[in-house]
Amino acid sequence: MLGSGKGSNFVAIAQACADGRVPAQIALVVSDVPEAGILERARARHLAAAYLSPGKFRTKLDEEGELSYIAKLREAEVDLIVLAGFMRVLKGEFLRAFEGRIINIHPSLLPAFPGLEAWKQALNHGVKVTGCTVHFVDASVDGGPIIGQQAVPVLDDDTPETLQQRIQAAEHELYPRCVAALARAQVRVQGRRVMLTGPV
């Protein structure tokens, strides 16, 4: 798992692994932020956790950083890379190294509201329903094939903060279910379409 922040989605998935809802184990947690909460939470669960320098760029890994991330993940023999609030765009070499094995969660019903602060975008557009999406990561921004989605109603008195909290609660339900479906080999990809042979 890769993350830059507090790691609430990490906790949801780690708990689902621990109680058997996800038939997998977390091999490694990596962050591009030395003091990230996700690293503390991983260590508290006695999981391997490491800070790796992202390099000189603010929004992506530089070439050296990319190679160190690839090497560390290969060393851990990971089958799947789960992004949990990892705030850097992944590019060419990284995507090629783990093609079809990187997933992300986004706080909207993609393709609506890609990019940052999707809950604010939803409020500003006046939609009545938003939600979250788990998708494969490709070279597009929040545009890879969709594995699963969960709707969240937008209430009349919602603020950005209250809407974000309810979307996060939905993420904590959806993300473990999608990881479990992948671990059980219940996900097939044909072009842009994802077929599920079991429930998400």
Report the catalytic residues.
Answer: 106
- Strand, helix or coil for residue 82: strand
HEC secondary structure over 118-169: HHHHHHHHCCCEEEEEEEECCCCCCCCCEEEEEEEECCCCCCHHHHHHHHHH
Distance CA 152, CA 139 (A): 27
CB 54 within 8 A of CB 65: yes
> Which of 179, 147, 196, 200 lies closest to 23, judged by CA?
179
